[in-house]
Structure 1
Amino acid sequence: MESPKIDYIQSKDNKTIKHIISLQQRKYRQKFGEYTVEGIRAVTDIGKKDCLRSILIRESKRSELEPLVQKGFTVSSVYVVQDPIFDKIEHSVNGQGILGIAKKCVNDLHSLIVEDGLYVALDGVQDPGNLGTIIRTAVAAGAKGIFLLKGTVDPYNEKCVRSTMSALCNIPIFEDVTLSEFYDFIKDNTIQTYVTSLENAKPYHTISYPKRTMIILGNEGNGVSREIIEMCDQAITIPMYGDIESLNVSIAAALCMYKVREQI
């Protein structure tokens, strides 16, 4: 495969730099269907999935990083960027001097082929680090899909992308799912739903989970909405054996997901 031509960027007003800066906002990520990834591992992993559109390299790291783009990635362009300009687009504190523009993985809820297994839904999770960790854990647990109800943080937020450790393209993720879409999906596909809530709840480790199970977790402060709770088959809770009110939502998600996986 022929290596892409390498261009040089030496102006902060360059259209590619302006485009990357615009992708810091959700509305532009949605408009262009793109997001950014940083670091050697993330760029390499996303590149292997043919999801990269462009690669940018810090000028002072060119000799170290340029061989990376010779690995046969299908990208339309590669840029070497002057260090002061690269500083404006790199967010990692100890960045590795490489950034990729990647295309979003767009999934259609109605085209998902539903099979037995674990599914995860999130209702209003706000911290991008929490969401990224949950996505990464869901991939590790072999979940079949993640459903982000309206009001949940954008999975392509820069902090979320970093927390996923390149897992975004490894699982179907459905964004901005409405209550009606969610209700129709779980009923039409006979998925048993288990929501983390204290109300009429059973300890999560005492449940016999069926072959087609969905775990639902909510906002860090307010939990799952009343509308979602009323749709679900059973509330579950994680016992607190010490003097603490609750667990971080990403930890709770991991415990629940792996308990389900033990059984199905």
Structure 2
Amino acid sequence: MQCAFTSLFPLPHPPKLGIRNSQLPIGAQRQTHLQSNFENFNGELSVGVNIPLPSHVKSITSTSNPFVKHCLKLRNSSSYRHSHGAVLVVGSTPIREIYRFQETLQEKTVRLICLLVLDKAEILEEIDARSVRIVRVSPMVMKKLSGVQSTESIEAIALMRIPTSYLHLNGDKEEAHSEGWFPSPHRILVLDGIQDPGNLGTILRSAMAFRWGGVFLLPGCCDPFNEKALRASRGACFQFPIVCGCWIHLEALKSKFQMKMLAGHPESNAELKSVFQLTHEFADSLVHVPLCLILGSEGSGLSEKSHQECELVSIPMAGESDSLNVSVAGGIFLYMLQPRI
């Protein structure tokens, strides 16, 4: 399984998905690319190069089916996911949450390509079976695709397009468009080398719960559409903006919105820089200030660049432990600094 990125997506040829074209609005540019991947000119669903799913196919019973093999590659490979612009969402709960969220939006950011439903299981009540391609699958196929030992709790898997709210930036020229990356840039979470997919997914779920405006992923982060990240986030990566880029892009965002840069950091007497404590008074002083909050990796902490560019903030702890798991610390930071305006 591929998890950590080198320059985010190690593809021999970077995919067009999420690379902004100055001649098209970002949503239109992404949809144009994805449409070419998934729909042929006859309107028949196509799931990749030479891997069609003919319209007459209503059920799949064999794990050697080409469509099943394609879906397995989507689940296991970040480069394959992003080159095809699609992702598997396993389980009824995240599918429901994504679908309900989409119903609240004027402009839809996610398209459900097809729904794979376990034989004899009921179709999710939120899904209109008349407008969504439904394919029944055997328990063996469901077990293979879900990656879990028991399919008792897994009755549905959705094949979805990567949302248009996701953006992968390439090159210096992208910084000119920073005003459009996040609809609400008052509170932006920045992840710096978070490689564990469970931690990343948990942090994304917390960021959405506390109404942060989006997440910026610096190089070295795990793919947010990794299966473990998706499971931990319960589909949060489909429900608010995620931008992948480097410090050039982050500095453009900071400059555009005059954002204060904070970074979570353990308190240390050996620290050359001052380390502020995350108190209610500290949080109250920043209510009206646009913020970028940076959280570092589980093992090595903040990168040198993040350490230099940010004001360091620690969580006061009465116990003997000198640090917290990044997803736990992240939840505390996100709660304390959540937007209140």
Range into which the TM-score falls when normalised by the shorter chain: 0.7 to 0.9
Worse-superposed segment, 142-151 or 180-189 = 180-189
Written as runs of structure 1 = structure 2, the 5 A alignment for 1:21-32 is 21-23=72-74, 24-32=76-84
Q: Is the 8 Å Cα contact of residues 259 and 292 (structure 2) preserved in structure 1?
A: yes
Amino acid at match of 2:307: I
1:137 aligned partner = 206
Is the strand fraction higher in 1 or 2? 1
2:134 aligned partner = 78
1:58 to 118, 121, 139: 118
Q: Is the 8 Å Cα contact of residues 92 and 124 (structure 2) preserved in structure 1?
A: no
Amino acid at match of 2:136: V
Q: Is the 8 Å Cα contact of residues 119 and 146 (structure 1) preserved in structure 2?
A: yes
1:163 aligned partner = 232
Q: Matched residues in 1 for 2:130 and 2:296: separation?
A: 38
Tell me if 1:237 matches 2:314.
Answer: yes
Q: Matched residues in 1 for 2:195 and 2:181: separation?
A: 25
What 5-or-longer segments of structure 1 have no aligned partner? none
Tell me if 1:105 matches 2:163.
Answer: yes
Tell me if 1:219 matches 2:302.
Answer: no
Cα shift at 1:183: 1.6
Worse-superposed segment, 95-104 or 41-50 = 41-50
Q: Is the 8 Å Cα contact of residues 58 and 83 (structure 1) preserved in structure 2?
A: yes
2:261 to 188, 193, 205: 193
Q: Is the 8 Å Cα contact of residues 5 and 78 (structure 1) preserved in structure 2?
A: no
**TM-score normalised over the length of structure 2:** 0.69
How big is each residue's C-alpha offset from its partner over 1:41-81, in whole Å with a ceiling of 9 and x where there is no partner?
2222334435311111222xx2x323648635743x32111
Q: Matched residues in 1 for 2:195 and 2:87: separation?
A: 19
Aligned residues: 255
1:120 aligned partner = 189
What 5-or-longer segments of structure 2 have no aligned partner? 1-54, 103-109, 170-176
Q: Matched residues in 2 for 1:162 and 1:226: separation?
A: 31
Q: Secondary structure at the match of 2:302?
A: coil
Could you say if the C-alpha distance between residues 173 and 241 of structure 1 is closer, same or farther in structure 2, counting changes exceeding 3 Å?
same
Could you say if the C-alpha distance between residues 113 and 11 of structure 1 is closer, same or farther in structure 2, counting changes exceeding 3 Å?
closer
Could you say if the C-alpha distance between residues 69 and 83 of structure 1 is closer, same or farther in structure 2, counting changes exceeding 3 Å?
farther
In the TM superposition, structure 1's runs of 4+ consecutive aligned residues that sit over 4 Å from their partners are 67-70, 113-116
Q: Matched residues in 2 for 1:8 and 1:172: separation?
A: 34
Cα shift at 1:168: 1.8
Could you say if the C-alpha distance between residues 56 and 113 of structure 1 is closer, same or farther in structure 2, counting changes exceeding 3 Å?
closer
Is the helix fraction higher in 1 or 2? 1
How big is each residue's C-alpha offset from its partner over 1:80-128, in whole Å with a ceiling of 9 and x where there is no partner?
1122222211124553221111111243473225646211000011111
